[in-house]
Chain A
């Protein structure tokens, strides 16, 4: 018989306001096996833990039931506490009387009753608990970063600088991501390339970093410390070792002159050849052939690039290659894009080339952009005199149908940046910003916005624009209302810039599924704890960096990238990881070898073996299941699927669970 101690936590008023804690203590005191019961204000505090340790020693407790918050919150804390007092940590059970009781009920009497029932179930279970010992698994000392934007770059550099091997997988031909498309960055207005390009070069030259560009993650298996990842290296059609990056092929590609392929990097404002580098500072400086558009791949004719390449690097026969690499940790840094604006017909984005998105404006203002940094209208190449900025296009919407429910967070600041940069270059330009709210929390952020108003005289008007109407004379009519002055406005503009909502890169869903990392309704990756574990996915060994986790600007992205790197380093620094001892076990006497368990196991942890058994004096060979304990994650799928009850989970045995149910129904 166990000697069980029950500890009921008040959690301040979190539990005690709804559950009569003292009454719970009195009612569970006489449950079978219980030799001690007490309550305390904060069981997880040092004083609370002392109380537990003292009771273990004084009453010789062999099992503990902590009635407190969710085990996700403090099971670890209390297990460590038990271990300190010499008790096996798996002799601790947590009855969740906060999240599953006090927080969701209002009636004190009902809640108290439920708390007692939950405690009773935990006590019944502890009576059957046996000490368990954690196993060990090795850690592969290599990290994978998915995405080569500023988030992925910073994470990779930080991990590599700590001495660990890192691979970056980037689906585009070059690393750099969104930031490489930007002109200047707020709030200091330093040029994006000036601060990003050196980092890209550093990544390329770092002895601990391997780059897989033009590559995608194809398959992920394994678990924390031991992931196996298949990476598809798409055929570049250019030999990496031979190419010198001279760019002759791109210049001579006949499709470059016809100009029918819109450049992804320049957001369609410029065309590119079929063999191309996205931009001049691309890393690696090796072009790719876009096989879908290349004349040679379509018709078998042309071959100009191969002919003129001075180092004979063009290779039309190259094939996709799949490499399998082992990793200890994976960081998701897949970044963002802006939403499709088809739903916003009122802003005439698809009607007029002079209605552009902010990223397009970045390209138009960039010295390396399609206009060489000269701001001009795409329709007539004239310099715009009156420019209107519309904020919150598709952000802060109520329904999926309208747009995104969240604030995109970066638009207020980059719009102030755009306005000031334009005014700096072309002071005669009239700039009007239509806003709903100006949101500028951040160091030196509000000062930045105020500078746009006070020093540059940018006209900020509160009121969302209703409609943008292209006029016969080529201008745009902007219809809005100044809500603060109570006036409707019809304003002529030469150019309208839309601050389109950001959204996670559309490819992230597929990646999250492969990693079994959870995502929210907006496809942002979910953190393990919104406040306390913001860079970890709930799936062990998966970490989050940058916009993939939620809207954020560059300073925040870089901080988060560093934080994710620290978590990865913390994991890779360990030689062994403790494995969960709550694994499945097969009772070979009961197993009939039906394979049901192997079919449901998501980790491929079950194999079959032929064993000799004596059955009623007859020796026979039977096919029975065997669990690979290193692979088993203790999900329990096999135990519920097994028709003969041969599969059982340590720490959550079939008997323990039925006993819990019995205790609840008693």
Chain B
């Protein structure tokens, strides 16, 4: 249980958004271009995190189908930013694999066909400053 709480906190820290603000209006799911490919829909991300079903979210197809187009982040009326939440889930997986931070000059070495392209897009956006 403690581990779940730690993971929930980690997701909040990485994403900088608060899943409790979600009112499930579904504007994210309405906007999402990958909606049909996702097993967990964008408007459900917040409740998965609140319930502590982090593993399920991290292991979901949805996490890797997100295109990081940021439409949900832009339009979310509650600033929950589902795109950032699922990006955090992805980063948890990646961090366990490769350590905590991604440096730009390390990226070429990391490029392997197994790494989903959308993860890199998110990573670039996140670390471009």
Q: Which residues of A contact B (CB under 8 A)?
A: 346, 392, 396-399, 402-403, 436, 462-467, 479-481, 483, 486, 488-489
Q: How far is the CA of A537 from the CA of B104 in the complex (A)?
A: 59
Other contacts beyond A436-B23, A464-B26: 7, CB < 8 A: A346-B31, A392-B77, A463-B26, A464-B77, A466-B71, A479-B30, A486-B41
In the bound complex, do residue B25 and residue A436 qualify as a contact, i.e. CB atoms below 8 Å apart? Answer: yes
Q: In the complex, what residues of A have CB within 8 A of residue B78's CB?
A: 396-398, 402
In the bound complex, do residue A463 and residue B25 qualify as a contact, i.e. CB atoms below 8 Å apart? Answer: yes
Q: Which residues, 27 to 52 on B, are CB-close (under 8 Å) to A?
A: 27-32, 35-36, 41, 43
In the bound complex, do residue B75 and residue A466 qualify as a contact, i.e. CB atoms below 8 Å apart? Answer: yes
Is B79 at the interface (CB under 8 A from chain A)? yes
Which one of B36, B43, B75 lies within 8 Å of A483 (CB-CB)? B43
Is B126 at the interface (CB under 8 A from chain A)? no
In the bound complex, do residue A488 and residue B36 qualify as a contact, i.e. CB atoms below 8 Å apart? Answer: yes
Q: How far is the CA of A339 from the CA of B29 in the complex (A)?
A: 25
Interface of A is mostly: loop
Q: How far is the CA of A456 from the CA of B73 in the complex (A)?
A: 36
In the bound complex, do residue B27 and residue A465 qualify as a contact, i.e. CB atoms below 8 Å apart? Answer: yes
Q: Which residues, 70 to 91 on B, are CB-close (under 8 Å) to A?
A: 71, 75, 77-80
Q: In the complex, what residues of B have CB within 8 A of residue A488's CB?
A: 29-30, 32, 35-36
Instruction: Contacts A346-B75, A479-B30, A480-B30 given; indicate if A464 touches B36 (C-beta within 8 A).
Output: no
Closest CB in chain B relative to A86 CB, distance in Å:
57
Instruction: Contacts A392-B25, A396-B23 given; indicate if A466 touches B30 (C-beta within 8 A).
Output: yes
In the bound complex, do residue B30 and residue A465 qualify as a contact, i.e. CB atoms below 8 Å apart? Answer: yes
In the bound complex, do residue A479 and residue B31 qualify as a contact, i.e. CB atoms below 8 Å apart? Answer: yes
Query: What are 16 sample pairs from A and B whose C-beta atoms fall under 8 A apart?
Result: A396-B77, A398-B78, A398-B79, A399-B79, A463-B25, A463-B26, A464-B25, A465-B30, A466-B28, A479-B31, A481-B29, A481-B30, A481-B43, A483-B29, A488-B36, A489-B30
Closest CB in chain B relative to A465 CB, distance in Å:
6
In the bound complex, do residue B77 and residue A481 qualify as a contact, i.e. CB atoms below 8 Å apart? Answer: no
Q: In the complex, what residues of A have CB within 8 A of residue B43's CB?
A: 481, 483
In the bound complex, do residue A464 and residue B79 qualify as a contact, i.e. CB atoms below 8 Å apart? Answer: no
Q: In the complex, what residues of A have CB within 8 A of residue B79's CB?
A: 398-399, 402
Q: In the complex, what residues of B have CB within 8 A of residue A489's CB?
A: 30
Which one of B23, B26, B71 lies within 8 Å of A481 (CB-CB)? B26
Q: In the complex, what residues of A have CB within 8 A of residue B21's CB?
A: 398
In the bound complex, do residue B27 and residue A397 qualify as a contact, i.e. CB atoms below 8 Å apart? Answer: no
Is B24 at the interface (CB under 8 A from chain A)? yes
In the bound complex, do residue B41 and residue A464 qualify as a contact, i.e. CB atoms below 8 Å apart? Answer: no
Q: How far is the CA of A336 from the CA of B16 in the complex (A)?
A: 35
